[in-house]
Amino acid sequence: MALFTRKDTVTSDRIYEGGIINLRVDALKLADGQSTTREVVEHNGGVVIACRPKPHQIILIRQYRYSIDHDLLELPAGRIEKGEKPLSAAQRELTEETGYQAKQWKELAQMYTAPGFTNELLYLYEANDVAFVGKNLDHDEETEVIELDIEEAWRWIAQGKIRDAKTIAGVGLLHSPAV
């Protein structure tokens, strides 16, 4: 297996710049002298919120995801805007998508979503001591808020009702006795 580092990049061409992602194609030279390419989706990162209205509960949202043409059950989440701190993004996204605000915040983990093709890093937060203040959705969003027992959420994962990776990770961390 040939390993390479960033210094082995021969060329880097950004072929798309968008509002959410950029797409870059890099030509690389491997240690053995061979060449290869990598397609990289550049993303500013995102946040995921494990909101707990009660110690044994978690807030999920059901929303339509265009890329898979299907509704998903997910933890509230969203992208970090340019120049925004992850915690500020988490606080904003929680209120936008669920209508809840939290007084207590704790970072649980940081995770790469799919490092084989994207640099997106997600910050997973736990939100406690919450109060409902009303949703403030983006113009193109629609969510159904679901309060669920953490044990039931874990069963839904095992049954295949929850298939979103960030949600599986977040519920798994809360379900674990170590957290």
Indicate which residues carry an active-site annotation: 142
Going across the sheet that includes 77-79, the strands are 77-79, 46-51, 121-132, 100-112
How far is 74 from 79, CA to CA, in rounded Å? 14
Q: How far apart are CA 80 and CA 86, in angstroms?
A: 6
Q: In the chain, helix, strand, coil percent, each to 5? A: 20, 45, 30
Q: How far apart are CA 159 and CA 145, in angstroms?
A: 20
- Is 167 in contact with 75 (CB distance < 8 Å)? yes
Q: 121-132 and 46-51: which strand pairing?
A: parallel
